[in-house]
Amino acid sequence: MKTEALFIAGVATYLPPATKVEQAVADGRFDAQDAEDTQLQSVCEATDEAPPEMAVAAARDALERSGHRADDIALLLHACVYFQGLELYPTASYIHREVLGDHSALAFEVKNASNGCMTALDIAARSLAATDDVAALVTTADKVSPPAIDRWNSDIGIVPGDGASAMVLSKRSGFARVLSTSTVSDPTLERLHRGDAPFTPHHDPTLPIDLRLRKLQYLGDVELDEFTRRFRAGLSDCVDRALRDADIRLGDIVRFVVPHFGRIVLQREVLAALDIDLDLTTWSWGRTVGHLGAGDQIAGLGHLVEERAVDVGDLVMLLGVGAGFTWTCAVVRIVELPEWPARSAGSGLGGGGS
- Domains in the chain with CATH codes: 1-336 (3.40.47.10)
pLDDT of residue 205: 79
Is the pLDDT at 348 greater than 70? The verdict is no
| CA–CA gap between residue 232 and residue 325 (Å, rounded) | 11
Neighbours of 248 (CB within 10 A): 17
Q: pLDDT tens digit string along 35-74?
A: 999 999 999 999 999 999 999 999 999 999 999 999 999 9
Confirm if 123 and 116 have CB atoms less than 8 A apart: no
Q: Please give the model's pTM, rounded to 2 decimal places.
A: 0.95
pLDDT of residue 343: 56
Distances (CA, A) of 170 to 89, 95, 246, 304, 305: 28, 19, 18, 20, 17
| CA–CA gap between residue 184 and residue 317 (Å, rounded) | 16
Confirm if 175 and 335 have CB atoms less than 8 A apart: yes
Q: pLDDT tens digit string along 174-196?
A: 999 999 999 999 999 999 999 99
Q: pLDDT tens digit string along 90-136?
A: 999 999 999 999 999 999 999 999 999 999 999 999 999 999 999 99
